[in-house]
Structure 1
Amino acid sequence: MEASEVLKLVAQLQQSTGIVDATAGIDLISALETLKSTCSAVQASATDGVATAIAEQRRAIGKPKAQWRAGVASQIGLARRESPNKGGRFLGLARALIHEMPHTYARLLAGELNEWRVTLLVRETACLTVEDRQVIDKRLCSDPATLKNLGDKTIESKAKVLAAQLDPASVVKKKQKAFSQRRTSTRPQPDYMCEFKTLTSMDRAVSMWATLRKAADSIVGVGSETRTRDQVMADLAYERITGATTAKAGAAVAVNLVLSDETLLAGSKEPAHLDGYGEIPASIARQLVRDALAEDVRVTLRKLYAEPSSGALTAMESKSRTFPTALARLIDLRDRRCRTPWCDAPIRHRDHIRSFARGGKTTANNGAGLCAACNHAKEADGWESGPRPKSKGVVHVYDFETPTGHAYSSEAPRMPVARRYSSFFEHELTLNMTAA
């Protein structure tokens, strides 16, 4: 099936609006769910086909085996409008379904399992040999009735049980590998809240939660305490991790807050940018500054300059092949996250958009903040990229093309500049708040 035929179907679906009959509406919802699963199966087949074709092409011209699939996951992610990390997951899922789990693939193609439930089956059998994986594939998915009407948890549990029965040693190794990947992370939440996550073993996580709950139970309802148990537990977690005496005290960390001079000093409503979180309202930014000044917190001020019409930072240049500290900091503040479309990963590398070997200069205009995966992907054969010339009123933009000839562009986010312009360049203020 060609892409043009799929787009014709999309056009037909786009006209399917205004359902008024409930029975017909339910039938349509069910049919569309089947279609979604079938589309996922066809996507998996196409994904494996793309990876195989690229690998064969590179093998034929004598490339080392380690380079046969370099950058493929990033291309899959771009095509699906997802991050390279997810592109890698989709590639792994496709290869498992096509080459090792044909019955599971058949259930997906028939619309009897959705993409997430198929992903659970692939994930829970990933530690097994191909032979054992195929045994589970046959037991669970050769007969459509086996998993009919079962939910995510039940399907996941069935796969886990069979995996443990067939190869207990592999399951133990999988558990050990998972523990080695323990980490912490943050995720922005609505209403200017943020979720702090710790990925660790089940026993450790339950122990930490139980400890906080026990401590909170001794505080809730005592004296004039008005906080709920959940609020006390959240405050205790903050206090014990940071060493602050109360949840209101400042922690010994540095925080970058980028805001215009008018937002800070003249009551402007232009939002600010909090590094590691995102855009925040001007009033909240000013409150953060007031709170920092009121506490025992050292606040330092660093000036940046942006074009007022576009919010683009002005360039800093260097003759060095590597980006010096000040220029790297400017790129980080300008780009905020990895510049690859749909990739929200933290910046790990400051990359020459046009490579140094091809005459690319170490400048802000030829620099981009990328995650490690995206930087490595663009080094594969067939990737081409270059910055657009700087122009007044335009934020930083660069274009790139993948080995399959598909073109994409990346535009830096606009900086928070003041609305009232008194000169060509507008001051941007970066406040660095660190506990004394």
Structure 2
Amino acid sequence: METSIRVQIPVHGWTSFCLEFHLAYLTLRKVKPTSIGNATGVKHKSVDRVLLDLACLGSQSSSNDDISQHLIQEANVSVVVCGWSDTQWTGCAFVNTGIEVEEEEEEKEEEEYADDSETEEETENQFQQDFLAAENSFHYAVDANTPEWDARKYWLKVLSIRCQLVWKEWQYLVRTVEDAIETWKSSDLCFDSMNQSITDPGALRKSLDRTLQAIQLLRTLQDSLSMTLRAYRRFEESGGDKCYFSDMTGRYIASVHAEIKESFQKLADLHLRLGSLSASCTHISSHLGHVLDLEANRLTFESIQLNRENNALSMRSHDLTVESNELNTESHRLNRESNKLNLESNQLSKDSNKISMDNHDLSERAHKLNQRTSILSDKMREINELSMNAALANQAAAAKTSSSTRVSVEVGLRA
């Protein structure tokens, strides 16, 4: 639903009027997680209209005994007054003010309301709240027992009260968001102006993400509030629906108009505060983005340096690979020569073995010849001994013969 403040008077047909305003705004409620969903999966009856959990800005309660969440939710108020004259009219309202309060507070309010009801039954002419003007707010309560019969005065008064209540909701929301952002900024080391040594990309990226979430939240709040302010400008501008009340004068009417205008001026101030927060967060986002860019540039430069070193190492590795291939080629050549030499050595070994075997055979044959030579030597020695003995015998025989001859000669001579 969009915010609108309108006066409708049909051109044709019955003379009637319809005064209506629809105020769409955002509310901030602090609720326990158990009121949003439980273990059985049953969700809170208003959780479908929840826009955002302020936990993204670090606004969670730190107490373990009272863990709660701040939830931003859509709310709206519609009040319509229709009639034929200032004294013949009727009105209705449709109100949805956001997430209901916690159960304990609800029970307490129910008990107080029951006590008030009993008191009202006991006392005549007791104050009765006009719920079209306000509900659950005694500061802006209107006594239904003393109604305002003039339709336009009544509608303006209800509009004034509802605008003030909407402003209070917006004020609480904006202040809470502002406090959450300031608390987060003061606790985040990346925002410490004295600490310029934060270069952790993870911490910077986390801070940047939270800043972008804050910017998105502030933009959502600004857009919602802008719709409300635009609707009032259309109502207030020259020729707008406010002209329907131009004939009404008096201090009371002036006071109501002033209250309505003041409420929207305060809403405009809150819109400016949201704009200032958004600009601050945008500046922070730009700064963090610049720091991340510098860090990225530094990492890129280091990466380039590492790539250069890697390329140098790759070239050195390539050179070593070439040298290794050359050494492998040389080793392969030497292996082939070694294999060739091994083959030749094996052949020489075979030849040597053959020669050794031949030498062994020759040795055996020589040994046999030596044995035979020894035998022959023994026989030759025997023969030599026999020959010597024969020679001695011959000598002896010769001597005998010579002696016989000499005797014979001597005999012959003598004869």
Give the TM-score range, shorter chain: under 0.3
TM-score computed with the length of structure 1 as normaliser = 0.17
Higher helix fraction (1 or 2): 2
Larger Rg: 2
